[in-house]
Each structure stands twice: as C-alpha cells, then as structure tokens.
Amino acid sequence: YPNFLGELELREAIAKKLKQDTKNILVTVGAMEGTATAILSIVGNGERVGIVTPDYCNHFSQIMLARGEIVSLPLMEGKDWTLDCSGVEKEAKGGMKLLLITNPSNPTGFVATRQELKVLVDLANKYGFYILADETYSYLTYDVPHTSLLDFWDQSDRLIIVRSFSKEYAMTGWRVGYVVTHEETIKTFAKVHDSLVGCVPKISQRAAIAALIGSQDFVVQCRLVYARRRQMTMDAIAKIDQLTIPTVSGAYYAFVRYGGNRTSVDISEDLLTKGKVAVVPGSFFGAGGEGHFRISFAVEEAILTDGLKRLGQFFL
C-alpha cells in the first residue's frame, strides 16, 4: 500500500503548487472523498451545517450521512450571483459548526469575491465555525479572478480547502483529490480517511504527479475552449425570451431560469422527451434551485450548438 496520507512526492508537488507545507495536505479519492472526510470529521449528530445554495447535490447527502442539520444559505440572483453575507451571520448566531461553499460554483457559475470570502473568514473567527471550500473549478474562471480560501490561510485556523485533479486535468476516472487544512485538523481527517478508503491507488497518484509536474499547456488550452463555449451558451440563451441567466463567472455550467410555474423536474423531463436535449432539474441543487435547470457546456461544440438550437426550438 502507498502512504495513506498520500505519496510524499505527490504531496510535495501539491505543496509546491500551492506554496504550502506537506504536513497540511491529505490526498483523497477525488474531491468527493475529501469533502466527505471533512464533513464526517467535523459534524456531529444534529449539528448545523450552512451550505451556500444552489450547490452540488452530493454535498447534501454527505451532510445527512454525518447526521448534520442542513441550513440553506441561498445566493442572491440578479445580473450576477452574490453571496448573502448578512444571511450567513444570522444563521451563525444560531450556532453553526461548518459552512460549505463551492467556489467556483456547480451549478451556478458563481465565483466568490475576495471581499465576500473575507467576510466569511471574519465570521468564522467570530462565531467559531469551520469553512469548507470545494475549489474543484479553481482553475476555470472568466473575466474575474479566482480568490482561494488559501489566500486567508494566516487569518484563521478554521479553513478547509478541497481540490481535485478530475476536471482540471481531465482525470475523472482516476479519482484523485486533496484536502488542505492546518496540521492538527489534517491529523483528525486522516483517521476518517483511513477508515473510509485506506489510501488512494498508487497508479492514480503517479498519474497525478505526472499531471502536476508536466506541461500545463493542456489546461491553458481547455480554458480557452471553455471560454468560447461559455460565450456560445450565454449568447444563445439571451436570444430565448422565456429564459434568463446570470453571468457565468466560473466552471462550465449555466444555471438557467425559466418562466412559468412548472417544476424543474417536469420541464426537464419534457426537454428530454420532446425537445431531445438533456438538462438537470434545478431542484436537485437545493434551496433557490427550483425554477431553473442546469446546462453543461463541457461537450463538443457541434453537440453544444445542436443542443442550444433544440433548447430554443422547445421554448418557441
């Protein structure tokens, strides 16, 4: 078996990239296991977990697995998505063990500003909760910079950052991610990680090392491709009267609002069976998701063009 914390060479490569120390890094079976390990390590039965919504659907089940109480903190929707910092503080006053934010966001494309994250860090210090940032799409923003929770490392010992090789390096099936947090917290996480999975397969870790130390031209090219597809998607949706979409600032999803009173499950089923285009119902992503559906533009441009055309025809 490889080192259950992760191969030292891989942790050193991650540490070099992030300007961190290997003692603060735990290699996990994808970001999924990273967030699950963090939640199961921190959250006890009935403890309140704030989650910025709409959010990646599997985070909800991870909180339920820990028997935590989900406290939804919906983003404010306008031309852009914005964080309701006053809403976070209101819930923190009622007691909150952990705050979970996906930045950039799946499904909305929201990217937290430095000012918003600074407020969250200050609130974490004031009220004593941890912040867990799923930064799987940290490499992929448009027109705005990505601010990482790592930028506030010296301001709090209650910060947890999870990242993944899956999207950035197109390594979804290899299942490699990592957690970055302060050493004492890593020691706790390592016990849960060991109980859940034992270790990350060695062959996957070798592939991750190769991805990190090799040429990054592939990542740069992917950013350019996704930027073009994002613009294609936003331009097409802007031409459909019944649909609206806030700016997609990061990741490769568009979270589209539609008119009328139909449920997102109902309209998504109709889009599939009648429009012959697959989307994900917004209700799957928690509070604030109903009345929307999610599009992924991480597909070949010919398929994306055809799908957007079918979407427009459906809403004629």
* Ordered DSSP codes for 21-57: -GGGEEEESHHHHHHHHHHHHH--TT-EEEEEES--T
- Give me the pLDDT at residue 200, please: 98
**Predicted local distance difference test score (pLDDT) of residue 150:** 98
pLDDT bin (cut points 50, 70, 90) of residue 35 is very high
Q: CA torsion sign, 152 to 194 to 27 to 8?
A: positive
Please report the domains of the chain, with CATH numbers, ordered by start residue. 8-213 (3.40.640.10), 217-314 (3.90.1150.10)
Q: What value, to the nearest 5°, has the Cα angle with vertex 306 and ends 303 and 308?
A: 105
DSSP, res 159: E
SS3 308: helix
For the CA atoms of the chain, what is the radius of gyration? Answer: 20
For the segment 208-247, what is each residue's pLDDT rounded down to a tens digit?
999 999 999 999 999 999 999 999 999 999 999 999 999 9
pTM assigned to the model: 0.96
- Provide the token pair at 237: 């949706």
pLDDT attached to residue 290: 97
Give the pLDDT of residue 245.
Answer: 95
Amino acid, single-letter form, for residue 88: V
pLDDT attached to residue 78: 94
In this structure, which amino acid lies at residue 108? T
- The pLDDT tens digits for 42-60 are 999 999 999 999 999 999 9
Structure tokens at 130: 């941890």
**Per-residue pLDDT tens digits for 62-101:** 999 999 999 999 999 999 999 999 999 999 999 999 999 9
Average pLDDT over residues 155-182: 97
Structure confidence at residue 91 (pLDDT): 97
Residue 8's CB is within 10 A of a number of other CB atoms, namely 12
Ranges of beta strands (E only) in 261-303 are: 280-281, 292-296
pLDDT the model gives residue 72: 98
Q: Are 49 and 92 in contact (CB under 8 A)?
A: no
Rounded Cα distance, 260 and 295, in Å: 19
| Both structure tokens of 277 | 């285009």
